Amino acid sequence: MSSRPTCPYCGVSVSPDARYCDHCGTPLTQHTATPPRRRRERPSGRIAAWVFLLVMLLVFGTGTMGGYRYRAGHWPLLPVPASVIGATPDMTGISVPLTKADSTVAGYLRAVVSINVHGPLGNKAGSGFIIDNKGNVATAAHVVQGAPCVTVLDSNGRTHQGTVVGSNVASDVALIRVPTLVTPPAMLGLGDSASLKPNTDVYVLGNPKGLGNAISLPAVITQLHDQRSQDDAYFGNLIKIGGAVVRPGTSGGPLVDKATGRAVGVVNIGTDAAVAWAMPVEEVAPLITEWTRLQVAAPCAPVPAARTTPVVLATITPLSDVDGIDGADLADGALLAIRDMEETLRAAGFEVTLKTMDDKGSPAVGRAMADAALANPNMIGVVGSLDSQVTYAIADELKDSGLVVVSPTAGADELTTRGWQHFNRVVASAQRQEQAAARYAKNRLKTGPVFVITDGSPAGARQAASFERAAQTIELPLAGQYRIAAPLNYPDLREKLLAAKAGAVYLTGGSDTAFRVVQAFREDGITLPILGGDALLDVRFPNMTGPAYQGIYFTRLTAEPGQSFQKHFESVLGRPTRGYAAYGYDAAALILTALVRHGESYPAQLPDRAELAKRVRETQGYPGRTSSVTFDVATGENRTSWVYVYEWKQGVPELRENLQ
Evaluate if residue 61 carries a pLDDT over 50: no
Decide: residue 268, CB within 10 A, 0-12 exposed, 13-18 middle, 19+ buried.
Answer: buried
d(CA 414, CA 636): 12
12 found inside a domain = no
Same domain (yes/no): 297, 311: no
**End residue of a domain, out of 517, 537, 556:** 556
**269 bridge partner residues:** 277
pLDDT of amino acid 57: 40
Looking at 154-213, which runs of residues are DSSP E strands?
159-168, 173-177, 201-206
Q: Which residue has the higher pLDDT, 433 or 19?
A: 433
The reply to whether 294 and 323 lie within a common domain is: no
Mean pLDDT value of segment 196-222: 77
Q: Are 317 and 331 in contact (CB under 8 A)?
A: yes
CA–CA separation, 139 vs 137, rounded Å?
7
Regarding predicted confidence, which is higher, 138 or 118?
138
Percent of the chain that is helix, strand, coil (3-state, to 5): 30, 25, 40
CB atoms within 10 A of CB 136: 23
For residues 251 and 140, is the Cβ–Cβ distance under 8 A? yes
Confidence at residue 102, expressed as pLDDT on a 0 to 100 scale? 56
Q: What does DSSP assign to residue 542?
A: G
**In 10 A of CB 201, how many CB atoms?**
14
Judge whether 489 lies within some domain: yes
**What letter would DSSP give residue 445?**
I
CATH of the domain at 360: 3.40.50.2300
Q: What is the CATH number of the domain that holds 251?
A: 2.40.10.120
Does residue 52 form part of some domain? no
Same domain, 144 and 290: yes
The answer to whether residue 30 sits within a structural domain is no
What single-letter DSSP state applies at residue 6?
B
* Spatial CA neighbour of 223 closest among 277, 292, 156, 288: 277
Cα 112 to its chain centre, rounded Å, is: 18
Instruction: Specify the pLDDT at position 218.
Output: 62
Using the CB atoms, write b or e for 96-130: b if 16+ within 10 Å: bbbeeebeebbebbbbbbbbbbbbeeebbbbbbbb
pLDDT at residue 27 tops 50: no
Q: Are residues 488 and 540 in the same domain?
A: yes
Q: Is 275 inside any structural domain?
A: yes
Confidence band (pLDDT; 50, 70, 90) for 5? low
Residue 547 is assigned to a structural domain of this protein: yes
**Contact by Cβ (8 Å): 535, 541:** no
Q: Are 21 and 28 in contact (CB under 8 A)?
A: yes
148 and 108 co-located in one domain? yes
Mean pLDDT of the chain: 82
DSSP category for residue 57: H
Question: CA gyration radius for the chain?
Answer: 26
Instruction: Tell me if 174 sits within 8 A of 139, measured CB to CB.
Output: yes
Q: Which residues contact 256 (CB under 8 A, 6 or more apart)?
A: 108, 188, 202, 203, 204, 205, 262, 263, 264
| pLDDT at residue 87 greater than cutoff 60 | no
- pLDDT confidence of residue 16: 58
Domain C-terminal end among 286, 301, 316: 301
Of 258 and 42, the structure prediction assigns the larger pLDDT to: 258
- pLDDT of 434 reads 95
pLDDT at 211: 52
Q: 215 and 181, same structural domain?
A: yes
Which residue in 599, 639, 212, 600 sits closest to 424, CA to CA?
Answer: 639
Number of structural domains the chain divides into: 3
Q: Which of 567, 568, 565, 572 is nearest to 19 (CA)?
A: 572
**Residue 124 and residue 222 share a domain:** yes
Is residue 656 assigned to a domain?
no
Q: What is the DSSP letter of 361?
A: T
Q: What's the pLDDT band for 71 if we cut at 50, 70, 90?
A: low
Clarify whether residues 255 and 351 are in a common domain.
no
pLDDT score at 484: 92
Give the whole-angstrom CA distance, residue 239 versus residue 193: 9
pLDDT digits (tens, 9 = 90+) for 458-485: 989 999 999 999 999 999 999 999 999 8
Q: 3-state DSSP call for residue 268?
A: strand
Q: Indicate the helix (H) or strand (E) that contains 588.
A: helix 581-601
Rounded to an integer, what is the distance from CA 623 to the centroid of its chain?
8
- On whether both 406 and 311 belong to a single domain, the answer is yes
The pLDDT-based confidence of 332 (bands split at 50, 70, 90) is very high
Provide the 3-class DSSP secondary structure of residue 200. coil
Surface-to-core class of residue 657, CB atoms within 10 Å of its CB (0-12 exposed, 13-18 middle, 19+ buried): buried
Q: Which residue has the higher pLDDT, 104 or 334?
A: 334
Cβ atoms of residues 354 and 382 within 8 Å: no
78 within a domain of the structure (yes/no): no
Quote the CA–CA distance of 142 and 283 in Å, as a whole number: 16
Domain stop point among 244, 266, 301: 301
Residues 124 and 203 in one domain: yes
Average pLDDT over residues 99-122: 72
Where would I find the beta strands (DSSP E) of 591-630? 622-623, 628-629
Confidence of residue 580 (pLDDT cuts 50, 70, 90): very high
- pLDDT at residue 374 is higher than 60: yes
Q: Is the pLDDT of residue 199 over 70?
A: yes
- According to DSSP, the residues that pair with 404 across neighbouring strands are 381
Q: How many CB atoms within 10 Å of residue 538? A: 21
Residue 253 contacts by C-beta under 8 Å, 6 or more apart in sequence? 112, 126, 127, 128, 129, 204, 205, 206, 207, 266, 267
State the residue range of the domain holding 211: 102-301
Longest CA–CA span in the chain (Å) reads 87
pTM summary value? 0.63
| CA distance linking residue 86 with residue 83, whole number of Å | 8
Overall average pLDDT of the 100-111 stretch: 72
Query: Quick one: 596 and 476 in the same domain?
Result: no
How many CA within 13 A on the CB side of residue 416? 24
Taking the C-alpha atoms of residue 651 and residue 543, their distance in angstroms, rounded to an integer, is 6
The pLDDT assigned to 347 comes to 83
- DSSP type of residue 95: P
Task: Find the distance separating the first CA and the last CA of the chain, reported in whole Å.
Answer: 59
pLDDT value of residue 154: 83
Q: Do 340 and 193 have their domain in common? A: no
Mean pLDDT computed over 69-86: 38
Q: Can you give the pLDDT at residue 98? A: 38
Average pLDDT over residues 560-569: 86
